[in-house]
Amino acid sequence: MTIPQLKPHGLWKFFDRLNAIPRPSKKEERVQAWVVELGNDWGFKTQVDAVGNILIQKPATQGMETRTPIVMQSHLDMVCQKNADTEFDFEKDGIRMYVDGDWVRAKGTTLGADNGIGVATILAILDSTDIPHPAIDALFTIDEETGMTGALGLQGGFLEGQILLNLDTEDDDEISIGCAGGVDVTSKGTYETESSVAGLTTMKLELTGGSGGHSGMDIHKGIANANKLMNRLLLVAYDAIDFRIKELSGGGLRNAIPRESHCTVVMDPSDCDAFVTCMNEEFEKVAAEYKTTDADLHWSCQESSNPPGEVLSESVQESLLLAIQACPMGIHRMSPDIPNLVQTSNNLARVHVCEGIISIQCLCRSSVNSEKDDHARSIASAFALAGLDTEYSGVYPGWTPNPSSDIVATMKALYEEKYGEEPRVIACHAGLECGILGTNYPEMDMVSFGPNIRGAHSPDECVQISSVQKFWDYLLDALQRIPVKK
């Protein structure tokens, strides 16, 4: 069965067309042009704001004119991650999708269901002629995944809706009413390289096969962080064997738990066997620790034909390895107020050391701004001890839960009526755009929901077909429950 043949046909048709268009964060021009063209073809008022967000306004259907106008919102960009052995260019190629039982997956890459299913849902409703709904502001934001700059740039007065339905969560039995804020923490420095002596051997180290995942939604799962584990292996070996790092590179996007790390080291040929033995012994411990979460974790160490060249000095190498070891990673604190909610965390997302330049990138999240700031200082302090300077950027606020909101009550009652059980009304540790949008629209009543998506931000990403149908039916009923304007 092809993707457009799935039900609901309208939603899957637009998801199929959307995924044929490359849409990396900060490079959404083609998908923006497509959405604007659709809005104009439908004859709806279509606007693009100063930063590139798109607003398509569809009038209420007959009989729904007195209902409160709503905003339906999703983001256009997607996380671009692929397996190391997959040939794919996210700036040129369309996502290669296939049906696997009750799931839609991509061949070796992220699927883009986050947040493509939300975008396709909104487009299907705009395209429809038989779905009752109040007046709709269809808001398509840009660059959610690498800074939320679209939401941050949205100005007050652009929207007319009074209730926001954000379609960007990943469990169909959840209603999200709050989220964490975040800050990008980037530590950088330079170092003088040191020439290798003659006769040394070059070794290429690879740590691959980590499960990866969303650094907010999956941080509580204890998934392996390849940057941390590579550093652990190097530190253990460094206690016993004299070697020098030539290059070190691991991870990619800030909001994805790093799955791979690669390192090139040089050493005396007489130390190679002991080095490999030491590394293998430590990796056996790592594999045992992560056998449940990262069963495919793989380690390799091979001699390379590349010349030793320039390397880190002993003092730079030692201070860097110790700083990475000291950098906090994973959960810092659970919420004392909301059961099972991660309150504060850090993702050691990217480590790059090469040719005299060190760059380390983290994403620190928290639903408490003061704690987020303090945790970011802890990260900066660790790298300051290695002589690195730290910058904070991409700061975005959290979304404070309001359990007594009218739209939350409406959505909760509808779920109980349709499915005979209570939904989970939660706050999440991921960054949703609702908190940012609320700064310029403080009176807007907001809620977020979506279908089952698994493995977001990794090549394992998939979306459940039956859950999309459930989500669609729930949304259509919700549109008819929007109350009359006050």
Segment 51-104, tens digit of pLDDT = 999 999 999 999 999 999 999 999 999 999 999 899 999 999 999 999 999 999
pLDDT, tens digit, for every residue of 112-130? 999 999 999 999 999 999 9
Give the type of residue at 478.
Answer: A
**Domain end call among 368, 396, 424:** 396
Rounded distance between C-alpha atoms, residue 168 and residue 328, angstroms:
28
Catalytic residue among 16, 28, 77, 145: 77
Q: How confident is the model at residue 200 (pLDDT cuts 50, 70, 90)?
A: very high
Residues 6 or more apart whose Cβ sits within 8 Å of residue 33: none
Supply the pLDDT for residue 399: 92
Q: How confident is the model at residue 430 (pLDDT cuts 50, 70, 90)?
A: confident
pLDDT, tens digit, for every residue of 357-389? 999 999 999 999 999 999 999 999 999 999 999
> Would residue 115 count as lying in a domain?
yes
Indicate if the alpha-carbon torsion angle 94, 96, 102, 103 is positive or negative.
Answer: negative
Rounded distance between C-alpha atoms, residue 382 and residue 384, angstroms:
6
| Annotated catalytic residue 144 | yes
- 19 and 58 in a single domain? The answer is yes
Three-state DSSP class for residue 243? strand
Q: How crowded is residue 365: how many other Cβ atoms within 10 Å of its Cβ?
A: 27
Mean pLDDT of the chain: 96
- 257 and 139 in a single domain? The answer is no
- 326 and 475 in a single domain? The answer is no
- 403 and 291 in a single domain? The answer is no
* CATH number of the domain bearing residue 190: 3.30.70.360
Q: Residue 375: what are its φ and ψ, rounded to 5°?
A: -65, -40
> Would residue 486 count as lying in a domain?
no
Burial code (b: 16+ CB inside 10 Å, e: under 16) for 243-277 equals bbbbbbbbbbbbbbbbbbbbbbbbbeeebbeebbe
Q: How confident is the model at residue 243 (pLDDT cuts 50, 70, 90)?
A: very high
Three-state DSSP class for residue 293? coil
Length of the chain: 486
Rounded distance between C-alpha atoms, residue 135 and residue 424, angstroms:
28
The DSSP letter of residue 93 is P
Q: How crowded is residue 335: how many other Cβ atoms within 10 Å of its Cβ?
A: 17
Residue 210 has pLDDT above 90, yes or no: yes
Mean pLDDT in residue range 306-313: 91
Radius of gyration over alpha carbons of the chain, in Å?
A: 24
Return the H-helix or E-strand segment holding 416: helix 406-419
Q: Which residue has 């296939």 as its token pair? A: 98
DSSP for 341-400, written as a single string: -EEEEEEEEEEEEETTEEEEEEEEEESSHHHHHHHHHHHHHHHHTTT-EEEEEEEE--B-
- 176 and 195 in a single domain? The answer is no
Q: How confident is the model at residue 307 (pLDDT cuts 50, 70, 90)?
A: confident
Asked whether 182 and 365 are in contact (CB, 8 A), the reply is yes
Supply the pLDDT for residue 197: 85
- 374 and 330 in a single domain? The answer is yes
Query: Encoding tokens for residue 60?
Result: 């209420």
Residue 26 has pLDDT above 90, yes or no: yes
Split into its structural domains, the chain has a count of 2
Asked whether 185 and 364 are in contact (CB, 8 A), the reply is yes
Higher per-residue confidence, 304 vs 10: 10
Supply the pLDDT for residue 68: 98
Mean pLDDT in residue range 168-181: 95
Query: Encoding tokens for residue 128?
Result: 């429809």
Supply the pLDDT for residue 96: 98
**Domain end call among 376, 396, 416:** 396
Supply the pLDDT for residue 337: 85
Q: Which residue has 């809706």 as its token pair? A: 161
Rounded distance between C-alpha atoms, residue 419 and residue 416, angstroms:
5
> Parallel, antiparallel, or unpaired for β 453-454 and 174-179?
unpaired
What distances in angstroms separate CA 393 from CA 149, 251, 330, 365, 376, one per listed residue?
11, 19, 20, 13, 11
Residue 282 has pLDDT above 90, yes or no: yes
Nearest to 440 by CA among 118, 67, 164, 123: 164
Nearest to 72 by CA among 12, 161, 153: 161
Q: How confident is the model at residue 431 (pLDDT cuts 50, 70, 90)?
A: confident
> Would residue 295 count as lying in a domain?
yes
**Domain end call among 396, 422, 447:** 396
> Parallel, antiparallel, or unpaired for β 103-106 and 97-100?
antiparallel
pLDDT, tens digit, for every residue of 324-341? 999 999 999 999 988 899
Mean pLDDT in residue range 11-28: 98
pLDDT, tens digit, for every residue of 453-466? 999 999 999 999 99
Residue 284 has pLDDT above 90, yes or no: yes
Rounded distance between C-alpha atoms, residue 100 and residue 150, angstroms:
34
- 310 and 359 in a single domain? The answer is yes
Indicate if the alpha-carbon torsion angle 213, 215, 217, 220 is positive or negative.
Answer: positive
Residue 403 has pLDDT above 90, yes or no: no
Mean pLDDT in residue range 167-179: 95
pLDDT, tens digit, for every residue of 134-172? 999 999 999 999 889 999 999 999 999 999 999 999 999
> Parallel, antiparallel, or unpaired for β 181-190 and 97-100?
unpaired
- 82 and 221 in a single domain? The answer is no
Domain encompassing residue 260: 183-396
Rounded distance between C-alpha atoms, residue 12 and residue 124, angstroms:
9
State percent of the chain over pLDDT 70: 100
Burial class (CB in 10 A: 0-12, 13-18, 19+), 87: exposed
| Annotated catalytic residue 89 | no
Catalytic residue among 144, 174, 445, 460: 144
Supply the pLDDT for residue 473: 98
Supply the pLDDT for residue 97: 98
Give the type of residue at 85.
Answer: D
- 195 and 311 in a single domain? The answer is yes
Supply the pLDDT for residue 198: 86
